């Protein structure tokens, strides 16, 4: 009986160790247009449930938001407001899936979806995950994604480079 109990405890611990990460923190964002070099600074709060619920509400500029609610993607960014169904818009589906997979540490799937190579490196306990496109980037995909984690496993930085030349750098508090 003790053996079965130990196996059950070990199973729950292993499930907890691989469970998806959740976030509820402030962030800053720097959006850069590669062609012009123009940058825009933004800030806000991010909440991620570890599955398919992501909410980014901006304090700068106030009123902007980016929300993933299952297959629905709701945005109000830079004066452009939309509500999209990711199941119907392939480009939105790819961006949605990539963000959710990166935030939940499902890097292999994010790399596969973006026709990209995956590299994971560690230095002094910190981890860097790089996802870099092998060639042509799928429409709506990312040319590269870089994720930086502290030694305790907390995501602290995410850099998303879109194929169209926009680089978004998010720093989580």
Query: CATH number, domain at 30?
Result: 2.50.20.10
Confidence band for 162, pLDDT divided at 50, 70 and 90: very high
pLDDT (average), residues 101-121: 94
Distance CA 147, CA 159 (A): 7
Q: By mean pLDDT, which of 13-17, 21-25, 80-84, 118-122 is the weakest? A: 13-17
Helix (H, G, I), strand (E, B) or coil at 168: strand
In a domain, 122, yes or no: yes
Strands 126-133 and 142-149: antiparallel
Its pTM stands at: 0.84
In a domain, 72, yes or no: yes
Domain count, the chain: 1
By C-alpha distance, which of 50, 51, 49, 88 is closest to 72?
A: 88
Torsion sign (Cα): 69, 81, 106, 124: negative
Domain enclosing residue 86, as ranges: 20-172
Confidence band for 120, pLDDT divided at 50, 70 and 90: very high
In the block, residue with structure tokens 């989580």 = 172
The four Cα atoms 21, 22, 28, 32 give a dihedral, to 10 degrees, of: 50
Q: What is the mean pLDDT of the chain?
A: 87
In the block, residue with structure tokens 């042509």 = 136
Read off the pLDDT of residues 64-75 as tens digits, 9 standing for 90 and up. 999 999 999 999
In a domain, 12, yes or no: no
Contact 93, 87 (CB under 8 A): yes
pLDDT at 16 over 50: no
């Amino acid at each position: 009986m003790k053996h079965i109990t130990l196996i059950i405890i070990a199973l729950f611990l292993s499930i907890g160790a691989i469970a998806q990460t959740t976030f509820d923190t402030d962030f800053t964002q720097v959006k850069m247009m590669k062609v012009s070099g123009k940058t825009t600074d933004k800030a806000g709060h991010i909440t991620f449930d570890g599955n398919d619920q992501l909410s980014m509400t901006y304090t700068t500029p106030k009123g902007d938001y980016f929300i993933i609610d299952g297959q629905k993607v709701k945005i109000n960014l830079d004066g452009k407001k939309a509500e999209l169904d990711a199941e119907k818009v392939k480009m939105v589906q790819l961006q949605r899936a990539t963000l959710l997979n990166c935030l939940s540490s499902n890097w292999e799937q994010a790399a596969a979806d973006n026709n990209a190579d995956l590299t994971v490196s560690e230095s002094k306990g910190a981890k860097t995950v790089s996802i870099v496109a092998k060639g042509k980037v799928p429409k709506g995909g990312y040319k590269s994604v870089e994720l930086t984690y502290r030694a305790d496993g907390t995501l602290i930085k995410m850099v998303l480079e879109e194929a169209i030349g926009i680089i978004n750098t998010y720093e989580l508090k």
